[in-house]
Amino acid sequence: MDKLRDALAGMFAAGSPFRQFKKYRYIANVDGSRVGVVLATCDVARYGANFALGVAGVQDLIAAKRSSKVAHGFMVAASVDKFNALSYVDHKEIEEFNAVLLQKLRPRTSEYGGEYWLLTPAMITNCAVVEDDEAF
């Protein structure tokens, strides 16, 4: 698991095994296993310190994991700088993150028609709704 954790933490660095195949979605072979990632991005200009995570990406990754298209699926939280460069913040196993947190939240509708969850840094770190976040 150390190789996998290191690969996720370094997924935006040069030489990373991850490649983007669709917006906010990445794939890699790590230590002989196919790994899928969906990004939750923190763009301070758009969301403040919060992270946006697309519903369709989560659903597709869970379906890929359940059908054995990927061995591992993760949500990776990443910050976006003013040059659109991504930096790793944290990661969570997608099925657990979905069951423990996302199923308790109501998605929002984007201006482009898709749905997304807006997650606070505490939700990402603790994988739970924090009392202060409930009204949010």
Residue 43 clears pLDDT 90, i.e. is over it: no
Which one-letter amino acid corresponds to residue 127? C
What confidence tens digit (pLDDT) does each residue in 74-120 have?
999 999 988 889 999 999 999 999 999 999 999 999 888 899 999 99
Structural domain harbouring 93 = 2-133
Residue 49, CA distances (Å) to 15, 61, 129 in order: 29, 25, 16
pLDDT of residue 134: 45
**CATH number of the structural domain spanning residue 101:** 3.40.1350
Rounded to an integer, the average pLDDT of 35-64 is 92
Report whether pLDDT(47) > 80: no
Total-model pTM: 0.90
Pairwise CA distance, residues 66 & 131, whole Å: 32
What pLDDT does residue 72 have? 97
Q: Judge whether 75 and 65 are in contact, CB under 8 Å.
A: no
Tally of residues, the chain: 136
Count of domains for the chain: 1
Q: What number of CA atoms fall less than 13 Å from residue 31's CA on the CB side?
A: 10
Three-state SS string over the chain comes to CHHHHHHHHCCCCCCCCCEEEECCEEEEEECCEEEEEEEEEEEHHHHCCCEEEEHHHHHHHHHHHHCCCCCEEEEEEEEECCCCCEEEEEEEEHHHHHHHCHHHCCCEECCCCCEEEEECHHHHHHCCCCHHHCCC
State residue 135's pLDDT score: 38
